[in-house]
Amino acid sequence: MNYFTITNNFIIYKFRAISKYLCDNPILIIILVFSFLLRSYHMDMRDLTIDEVFSLFYVTDKTFFEIMNPYSLDIKIDAHPPFYYLFVKFWMATGYQLLHFFTSNRDYSFRFPFALLGTLTTFITYKIGEKVSNKNLGLIFSSLYCLNSFSIQIAHQTRMYPIIELFSALILYNWLFLKTEFSRNRAISLIIFTSLIWLTYYASIFFIAIVWLTLILLNRKDQKKFFLCAFFCILCCLWWLPGLLGQLNRESLESRHLFSTGVIIPFTVFHFITGERDLLLGISSELNNHIIAIASFLMIISLLVYKIYKNLLRFEIN
């Protein structure tokens, strides 16, 4: 059997397995249908935003290699990593043309894959609830996400946020397995998704840090394996470091005077703490609000680490 035959048989097997799984869960099918309809209905009601127009022209004008090139001068005009643009470029090169041929609607065709991503995330939230407890909790989780107004709203724009939601759900789903027992396949999945979410949105580093930290602290018998996995995750993202430094170099006022990319990250963090940079979505740029947000974040992380440490000590004593 050649590679193509093996791949084709694997896809057919997975498709049949998923079809049987959905047929055994008719309520889940209804939730997924509603999730897709809510995210695709009137998707073209609003014109493309400035960010969407920028994305459209950016991916149209660039090749895949140019988008992935961390030394390209073009990445300095934007403040985001490349995976979102690669995803949009892939859609423009594949399904966009076909959908636009049938609908003759540019805006709807451009935004359509994000409705699919939202629907897929609905399914993953069901699997999370099922893993945490049972199918009933999975149905509750997926129903809440299906009707989430924020999720529906961001699915009506061609931005990276539905991708972040999907990767976050996939990371959490794999984390639920790994926190009790190490699995090579789950660990590989976690490495892939944590790398991709960072290459989609820089601020996800806070979420990634919590994921790997809790795994290392909760599963002490496999600590070395998780450290190794986290190291591989860093290696997967390391190729984009010149691109990140180039973007920060453009945005940091101090770097223009000091002529050193080595001080960009500390100065960027300093500006964020003092309220001169707004790195988190939805947080006011006022100084006091920034300090409160950072203090709250550090307090929660400290309490989490302390609680896990106490539980580990109690476990060792017993």
Check residue 275 and give its pLDDT: 52
Rounded to an integer, the average pLDDT of 65-86 is 81
Check residue 76 and give its pLDDT: 62
pLDDT in tens, 152-196: 888 888 888 899 999 999 999 999 898 888 888 999 999 999 999
C-alpha to C-alpha distance for 36 and 122, rounded to whole angstroms: 9
pLDDT in tens, 19-29: 666 677 788 88
Check residue 278 and give its pLDDT: 46
126 located within any domain: yes
45 located within any domain: yes
37 located within any domain: yes
Sorted by sequence, the CB contacts under 8 Å of residue 270 that are 6+ apart come out as none
Check residue 281 and give its pLDDT: 37
| Average pLDDT over all residues of the chain | 78
- The count of structural domains within the chain is 1
Sorted by sequence, the CB contacts under 8 Å of residue 120 that are 6+ apart come out as 166
Give the percent of the chain with pLDDT over 70.
70
Residue 128, both tokens: 């999370």
Check residue 96 and give its pLDDT: 84
How sure is the predictor about 251, in pLDDT bands with cuts at 50, 70 and 90? low
How sure is the predictor about 261, in pLDDT bands with cuts at 50, 70 and 90? very low
Top pLDDT among 270 and 58 is at 58
Residue 6, both tokens: 């093996």
Q: Is the pTM of this model over 0.95?
A: no
Q: Is the pLDDT of residue 34 over 60?
A: yes
Q: Which structural domain, as residue segments, surrounds residue 47?
A: 3-181
142 located within any domain: yes
Q: At what angle do helices 3-23 and 26-40 cross, to 10 degrees?
A: 100
Q: Is the pLDDT of residue 93 over 60?
A: yes
Check residue 285 and give its pLDDT: 42
HEC readout, the chain? CCHHHHHHHHHHHHHHHHHHHHHCCHHHHHHHHHHHHHHHCCCCCCCCCHHHHHHHHHHHHCCHHHHHCCCCHHHHHCCCCCHHHHHHHHHHHCHHHHHHHHHCCHHHHHHHHHHHHHHHHHHHHHHHHHHHCCHHHHHHHHHHHHCCHHHHHHHCCCCCHHHHHHHHHHHHHHHHHHCCCCCHHHHHHHHHHHHHHHCCCHHHHHHHHHHHHHHHHHCHHHHHHHHHHHHHHHHHHHCCHHHHHHHHHHHCHHHHHHCCHHHHHHHHHHHHHHCCCCCCCCCCCCHHHHHHHHHHHHHHHHHHHHHHHHHHHHHHHC
176 located within any domain: yes
Check residue 241 and give its pLDDT: 86
Sorted by sequence, the CB contacts under 8 Å of residue 184 that are 6+ apart come out as none
136 located within any domain: yes
How sure is the predictor about 117, in pLDDT bands with cuts at 50, 70 and 90? very high
Residue 252, both tokens: 């940091």
Q: Is the pLDDT of residue 41 over 60?
A: yes
160 located within any domain: yes
Check residue 259 and give its pLDDT: 43
C-alpha to C-alpha distance for 35 and 23, rounded to whole angstroms: 17
Top pLDDT among 18 and 272 is at 18
135 located within any domain: yes
Check residue 301 and give its pLDDT: 63
pLDDT in tens, 268-292: 555 555 555 544 433 334 444 445 5
Rounded to an integer, the average pLDDT of 238-257 is 69
